[in-house]
Structure 1
Amino acid sequence: MAQPFTDESHPAEPYPGTRPDHCFVHVDETGWPVRPDLTMESGWRVEPDNIDLDQWLIGRGEPPLAARMPVLGYGSNANPSKVTWLRQELGLEGPAVVLRARCEGISAVWCDGTRARDGQRPATLAAAPGVVEEHSVWFATAEQLRVLDRCEGRGLRYRLVRLHTGRVVLYNGGVVDSVLAYTAGSKKRMPILVNGRMVACSDLSQRHALRLGGRPAPTDGLDVTEVHGDPCADDWPELLFVYGTLQPGASAWHLMEPHVVESEAIHLPGTLLDTGLGYPALRPGAGLGVPGFVLRLRSPEDALPLLDEYEGGDYRRVRVVLPDGRIAWTYLWTAAVEGLAELPDGWDVHQIR
């Protein structure tokens, strides 16, 4: 069982510092390992106490994963000591949730310029067909994202974008499509070209990177959409898994239909219980036992608040991983389950009215 660790085990210098080889949540100069766990409501557990990550956060008065936005961390932001620096220097508050990810088709490469505050050469992001690297995804609150904006010099040194190049896969198999990322926003933050080639951070240490001579690349090769204003946690993902009265043809479909672009029949790991109240209850788990539909929403930020009100206090909206790796919203039953019978295979949603 992995144990908590302190910043001393992962120094920030030289840039980009060292990273744990696992996911973690960080506060008070201490990190707690986080592992995927489909039996948990959040899909993740905090070690060594085996606590659901959302409950760990909520127990500290902090927003759960559903209220956080995924931001790619490919430089020093994956370093625990850097998180503490963000607290001390820029006022970062609350736990930082940093989940490891396999990144395909993109690479952290050295910038053309250096940092004004310490003269070190920072990283930037570039397209890299065929390349696979390990990086991290911050699940940041709105307030934490504003701190990252200040740290990265949003609009000056870097710009905040939704990334469409490559593939970012979390350790639980979830694919984070259109992940937020900070990419070059000035010539000094463009990749440096040495003999016509970009230089991956994994290939050269900071000490050797400082000796590089070259010129800024004309492009980073990335397909991105720049983010204007403040993004919202409800913006992502666009998918919603429904399994009860909100399914096509069921009693509450009229609430969903105006917001749906397309629908697809699918199964989700978990267990479905009969509440006896005219609607089913979904609990997380293994297997492929829950039939339903994945719906693509026209505007999640408009539809989801309406659905939150409809579902009421017995359900909580979470992000789940579909069998094909896509991530979707769904509503888990959080009220008592004692005495609730499991719905049999082949149950018919049209019987629930």
Structure 2
Amino acid sequence: MTQPFTDDSHPAEPYPGARPGHCFVHLDGEGWPVTPDPATDSGWRVAPDGRDLDDWLADHGEPPLAHRMPVLAYGSNANPSKVTWLREELGLTGPAVVLRAKCRDLSAVWAAGHRKSDGQRPATLAHAPGVEEEHAVWFATAEQLRVLDRCEGRGLRYRLVRVHSGQVTLFDGAVVDSVLAYTGAGKRRMPLLYGDRPIRCADVPQHRARYQPGRPAASDGLDVTPVHGDPSPDDWPDLIFVYGTLRPGMSGWHLVADHVVEATPVTVTGTLHDTGRGYPALRPGAGSVPGHVLRLDAPEDVLPALDEYEGDEYRRVRVTLPDGRVCWTYLWTGGVEGMAVLPDGWVDNHP
């Protein structure tokens, strides 16, 4: 699909509403398909003209993916008509970036209570060993997350947590570990049990679930860390790929050394260019770029200092390692015309 779609093609009723079968961005009642492309800075392109998603967002005066937080959307928040409702009723602003994801050992199940607004039964998230479902990850700005807080009744109906159970994988192969999610905060948002098992939303439609008898589970079974206060886009991931002066033993290592929990040699896909200034320039490409992935103890503390160190010549983005882990790195922002491509062994020859 290369043309924009409207809310009419994805009605919100009955809850949780219809979802597009693809990733999308949504603005003012229209959505545009989004597809993965590792050749772009963001890793994604927007139909129909194939612009880099970050460029598309910039054209609308909105922040890039690196300034957004991944929130699992397993209920109505993946429905375009619901996004419009959030705009009209709760003041949501800016494009919604909604990327489809495969979820393993996690399930959207019916909650024990009903919604006061219309009597429908809402969904909640539960640990479900062996289950695979498709949901979505909403990459939300800080302002959008505050709107979602209001919608979900954070602290009353649902709580905002980081989920460590299961695995959430985007359609480009990126694993969103410790994804943010709204999970049940009380008995009415615990899974509804029929017998001793929760009822998956995929198995029972709303018109039956609404009148389904049962009892609330004591727990959703999830391994989570509650989020206190406002999370930051810098909180995730806690990994950064370094390939130049920030490598162990190099001139910039002192800026990050005290925050490094572990450093592991890795290779990412890309092309490394010689700036002629004593430091390399990384751009998306088909080559192999060796370096180190560093695990940081407090990324939100060290990343602003690294941003200042790298300056306007680089921009921080999230990239996917060959094993699916997501990490930060710095891409060169300028042109590379006239720059030599550094050979694969460049790092070994510059310890």
In the alignment, structure 1 residue 13 sits paired with structure 2 residue 23: no
Q: Does 1:340 align with 2:329?
A: no
Work out whether residues 160 and 180 of structure 1, in 8 Å CA contact, stay in contact via their aligned partners in 2: yes
Cα deviation per residue 1:41-62 (whole Å; 9 max; x = unaligned)?
0000001110000010011110
Q: Per-residue displacement from partner, 1:70-125 (whole Å, max 9, x unpaired)?
A: 00000000000000000000000000000000000010000111100111100000
Hey, what's the Cα distance between the residues in 1 that align with 2:60 and 2:144? 16
Q: What SS class does the counterpart of residue 202 from structure 2 fall into?
A: helix
Cα distance in structure 1, aligned partners of 2:248 and 2:223: 35
Quick check: 1:172 aligned with 2:172? yes
Distance 2:308 2:139 in 1: 24
Give ranges in structure 1 of 5+ residues lacking alignment.
Answer: none
CA–CA distance in structure 2, aligned partners of residues 351 and 173 of structure 1: 32
Counterpart AA for 1:22: H
**For this pair of structures, how many residues does the alignment match?**
351
3-state SS, counterpart of residue 203 of structure 1: coil
Distance in 1 between residues matched to 2:19 and 2:197, nearest whole Å: 26
Q: Which residue does 1:140 correspond to in 2?
A: 140
Q: CA deviation at 1:187?
A: 0.7
Deviations 1:305-346 (A, max 9, x none): 000000010100000000000000000001111111111221
1:298 aligns to what? 297
- Equivalent residue number for residue 327 of structure 1: 326
| Stretches (4+) displaced over 3 A | 348-352
Q: CA deviation at 1:2?
A: 2.2
What's the TM-score, normalizing by structure 2? Answer: 0.98
Aligned 8 A contact 2:243 2:347 in 1? no
Inter-partner Cα distance in structure 2 for 1:345 and 1:188: 57
| Aligned equivalents of 1:351, 1:230: Cα separation in 2 | 41
Deviations 1:221-269 (A, max 9, x none): 1011111100000000000000001101212112221111110000000
CA distance in 2, matches of 1:316, 1:349: 25
In 2, distance between residues paired with 1:207 and 1:194? 16
Q: Cα RMSD over matched residues?
A: 1.0
Once residues 196 and 307 of structure 1 are traced to their aligned partners in structure 2, the CA distance between those partners, rounded to angstroms, is 51
TM, length-normalised to structure 1:
0.98
Letter in 2 for 1:10: H
Q: For 1:202, what is the secondary structure of its paired residue? A: coil
What secondary structure sits across from 2:161 in the alignment? strand
What is the aligned partner in structure 2 of residue 223 from structure 1? 223
AA paired with 2:57?
A: L
Unmatched 5+ stretches in structure 2: none
Q: Secondary structure at the match of 1:165?
A: coil
Measure, in 2, the Cα distance between the counterparts of 1:40 and 1:7: 28
Residue type of the partner of 1:76? S
The 3-state SS of whatever aligns with 1:201 is coil
Counterpart contact for 2:290–2:347, Cα < 8 Å:
no
Deviations 1:19-45 (A, max 9, x none): 011100000100010000000000000
Q: How does 1:73-222 map to 2 (within 5 A)?
A: 73-222=73-222
Tell me, in whole angstroms, the C-alpha distance in 2 between the residues paired with 1:350 and 1:309.
27
Paired residue secondary structure (1:269): strand
Q: Within 1, Cα distance between the matches of 2:235 and 2:306?
A: 14
Opposite residue 343 of structure 2, the aligned amino acid is P
Moved more, 74-83 or 252-261: 252-261
Give the deviation of 1:185 after TM superposition. Answer: 0.3
Contact 1:250 1:349 in 2 (8 A): no
Write the distance in 1 (CA, Å) between the matches of 2:148 and 2:47.
Answer: 27
Take 1:63 and 1:349, find their aligned partners in 2: how far apart are those partners?
A: 36
Q: For 1:121 and 1:204, how far apart are their aligned partners in 2?
A: 11
Query: Residue 3 of structure 1: CA displacement?
Result: 1.7
- In the TM superposition, what are the counterparts of 1:57-72 in structure 2 within 5 Å? 57-72=57-72
Shift of 1:351: 4.1
CA contact (8 A) 2:7 2:29 kept: yes
SS of the residue 2:126 aligns to: strand
1:304 match: secondary structure: helix
- Once the two structures are TM-superposed, the CA of residue 349 in structure 1 deviates from its matched residue by 6.4
Amino acid across the alignment from 2:201: C
Would the aligned equivalents of 2:291 and 2:347 in 1 still touch at CA under 8 Å? no
C-alpha deviations, 1:281-311, integer Å up to 9, x for none? Answer: 0001235x10000000111001100000000
